[in-house]
Structure 1
Amino acid sequence: MRLLVLGASGNVGKILMEQGVARGHHITAQTRNPANLPEIVGISVITGSPTDTGFLNKHVTGHDAVILAIGINNIGKTTLFSDSAKAVISAMHAGNVKRLITITGIGAGETKGHGGWLYNRIIFPLFTHNRYADKDLQETLIEHSDLDWTIVRPAPFRRQVHKGPLHIVGDVPKGLQLRSITRAEVAAFILDCIEGERYVRQKPFIGHS
């Protein structure tokens, strides 16, 4: 398959590219700075902004799916996620591409308060609440589109692989806490969703308890 990864130079994006190529897919990798991308055979690099509709219009056509994996490092207010959603939806309509996978995370929608004590009490209120205010808007924009979307909501990222089963939850039950997931697990889950046409128009919350 031909996959367009927006935010390819991010931590999940890099792993996703490596796994995608290993599975035999051709990856088009969007980045603002090509120097931030590893050299991987089978990757075509495009340089531009994920919020630039004109740029996206030139590159979306011909792909089987778009993966929106952008992120930020600052803790201030942002419109990056909602602005990118608007641009991507418009470009996908123009390019007649239907399949969209977006990564939001723990703190979006009804997953707020379900990431374990450290995340819920420290990380979210002090560091990530501003980005999730905009990710909520991003999710709303995508949900109201006519695309074949999947919104993936990972638990807090950890380096160490958890030995327990990976939980994949649709309706988040009261009391559920998903405390960890690796970026490699998220990348593999996204590729599984695309290859198997799974979780279309759903918002799986994934991680380990």
Structure 2
Amino acid sequence: MNTLTDNNAKTSATKILVLGATGGTGRQIVKQALARGHQVTALVRSPEKAGDLNGARLVVGDVRDEKVLREVLRGQDAVVSALGTPASPFREVTLLSTATRALVQAMTAERVSRLVAITGMGAGDSRGHGGFLFDRVIFPLLLKKVYADKDRQEAIVRESGLDWVLIRPTVLNDKPGRSSVRALTDLSDFHGGSISRQDVATFVLDQLRSVDWLHRAPLITG
């Protein structure tokens, strides 16, 4: 299934917990969520990196700590996970799956059901659709261990029992948003693409109330 999504869609005000808020895409999510009138809480590891997240409630803590997550989840309506990890050619990566497992347990305990999680092109059945350079060079040399953990992360979300959406952006860039994205699940003729972080953030926030992609994992591209 392939759809073209209008990024001008709005949702009513929601209390949102954002993980990964100090990353490039996370910052866009916080900024756009606040502009939509949402109440945003950002769980951050380093307050120094979050100084420009004006308007968001900042909580310092470890995203792998279920106790911290339970405390910050109380009163929230939804969670957006924009967690990322650097390329790791040699060392095993476990942050994404460990944090997601703790998050799912905390959300279940606190009865927060809506989770929108960003993974990436190359996770699950989107592997092999990034184009020659991504699939043959970047992925095997730099991202293989990162994506092994993204696969574990996706499996935890799928088995969670939550109201989840997994979002797999193509290669990210910092260009201005184009006001629409292509959301794809049929990748038979797709071989690479890119998308702005602004457009990813808009699509993510549109999923907080929409059921269009509930329990699915669209790849999104510009």
Q: Distance in 2 between matches of 1:163 and 1:67?
A: 22
AA of the residue aligned to 1:23: R
AA of the residue aligned to 2:19: L
Q: TM-score, normalised by structure 1?
A: 0.93
Q: What RMSD, in angstroms, separates the aligned Cα atoms of the two structures?
A: 1.7
Q: What is the correspondence of 1:39-188 to structure 2 with a 5 Å cutoff?
A: 39-75=52-88, 76-160=91-175, 166-173=181-188, 175-188=189-202
Q: Distance in 1 between matches of 2:95 and 2:30?
A: 22
Deviation at 1:37, TM superposition (A): 1.2
Secondary structure of the structure 2 residue equivalent to 1:66: strand
Q: Distance in 2 between matches of 1:65 and 1:132?
A: 25
AA of the residue aligned to 1:202: R
* 2:10 counterpart residue number: none
Higher strand share: 2
* 1:7 counterpart residue number: 20
* 2:7 counterpart residue number: none
Residues 166-204 of structure 1 show CA distances to partners (whole Å, capped at 9, x for unaligned) of 32112332x312310111111000011114343111101
Gaps of at least 5 residues in structure 1 are none
* Count of aligned pairs: 207
AA of the residue aligned to 1:136: D
- Alignment identity in percent? 37
Q: Which has the higher contact order (CA 8 A, sep 6+)?
A: 2
Check the 8 A contact 1:49/1:55 in 2, yes or no. yes
Residues 119-158 of structure 1 show CA distances to partners (whole Å, capped at 9, x for unaligned) of 1122111111111001101111110111000000000112
Check the 8 A contact 2:177/2:198 in 1, yes or no. no
Q: TM-score, normalised by structure 2?
A: 0.88
Deviation at 1:110, TM superposition (A): 1.0
Q: Distance in 1 between matches of 2:157 and 2:204?
A: 17
Secondary structure of the structure 1 residue equivalent to 2:212: coil
Deviation at 1:38, TM superposition (A): 3.8
Gaps of at least 5 residues in structure 2 are 1-13
Secondary structure of the structure 2 residue equivalent to 1:166: strand
Q: Distance in 1 between matches of 2:59 and 2:31?
A: 17
Q: Distance in 2 between matches of 1:12 and 1:156?
A: 12
Q: Distance in 2 between matches of 1:112 and 1:25?
A: 34
Q: Distance in 2 between matches of 1:164 and 1:10?
A: 21
AA of the residue aligned to 2:67: G
